[in-house]
């Protein structure tokens, strides 16, 4: 579990390439490279743009580490729900 | 093929449900399950996990709806908190070693 947390952190840090936040381009790249399997619409630039704006709580046009974690938390929640949902169906 | 990040998220979900299904209500962690999870999965991150008061405190902090159980959403705040702590460590580490 610790290595999973490290992966979450490292993925963000390597995507920012030394900067503090993800700009639009870096965010798009992260979504497409890392989350293409669990998210729909990762090929649509406008969908990614919309998502970025949804995450951008302080409206600075960038995605901070906190805002990135909001996305991870949200995705983990919906993944977990779909998992327990399908388990309940199977049993 | 799942990416590294997707694999990591999946393993977080699996860990939660592995402990959550042990006893009591499945799908949530009670105090004992949370303690076991912290002892087994986070022993390097949380050195003070042997302190029973620390478990109580973390439990209280996580349990935002006050039902005495930690559900997945509440568990995510623990992961977020640990990630932030972990990120700050990295930043400090990089500053110390001198970033390229």
Q: What is the pLDDT along chain A (91 residues), one digit of tens a residue?
A: 999 999 999 999 999 988 889 999 999 999 999 999 988 888 899 999 999 999 999 999 999 999 999 999 999 999 888 877 655 444 3
Q: How far apart are CA B2 and CA A37, in angstroms?
A: 6
Dihedral sign from CA coordinates of B9, B31, B48, B54:
positive
> How many Å lie between the alpha carbon of B37 and the closest alpha carbon of chain A?
10
Q: How far apart are CA A39 and CA A72, in angstroms?
A: 11
Q: How far apart are CA A22 and CA B99, in angstroms?
A: 18
The residue assigned the tokens 């909001």 is A70
Tens of pLDDT, residue by residue over B35-94, are 999 989 998 877 755 677 888 888 999 999 999 999 999 999 999 999 998 888 777 777
Domains and CATH numbers, chain B: 4-97 (1.10.238.10)
Mutation test of the interface with chain B: which of A80, A83, A85, choosing the one with the most B Cβ atoms within 10 A? A80
> Are B86 and A4 within 8 A, CB to CB?
no
Residue B19 near residue B31 (C-beta atoms within 8 A): no
pTM of the model: 0.85
The residue assigned the tokens 């949804």 is A54
Global ipTM: 0.84
> Are A77 and B76 within 8 A, CB to CB?
yes
* Residue A73 tokens, joined: 């938390």
Domain ranges for chain A: 20-66
B85 touches chain A (CB under 8 A): no
- Listed in order, strand segments (DSSP E) in B1-100 are 28-29, 70-71
């Amino acid at each position: 579990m610790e290595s999973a947390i490290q992966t979450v952190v490292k993925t963000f840090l390597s995507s920012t390439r030394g900067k503090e936040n993800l700009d639009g381009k870096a965010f798009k790249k992260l979504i497409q490279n890392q989350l293409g399997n669990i998210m729909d619409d990762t090929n649509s630039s406008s969908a990614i743009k919309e998502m970025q704006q949804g995450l951008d709580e302080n409206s600075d046009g960038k995605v901070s580490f906190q805002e990135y974690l909001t996305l991870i938390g949200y995705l983990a929640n919906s993944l977990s729900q779909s998992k327990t949902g399908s388990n309940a169906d199977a049993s | 093929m799942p990416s590294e990040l997707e694999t990591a998220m999946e393993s977080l979900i699996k860990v939660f449900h592995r402990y959550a299904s042990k006893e009591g209500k499945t799908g949530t962690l009670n105090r004992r399950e949370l303690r076991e999870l912290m002892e087994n999965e986070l022993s390097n991150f949380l050195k003070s996990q042997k302190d029973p008061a620390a478990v109580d405190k973390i439990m209280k902090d996580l349990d935002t709806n006050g039902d005495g159980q930690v559900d997945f959403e509440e568990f995510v705040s623990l992961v977020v908190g640990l990630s932030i702590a972990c990120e700050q460590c990295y930043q400090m580490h990089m500053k110390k070693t001198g970033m390229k």
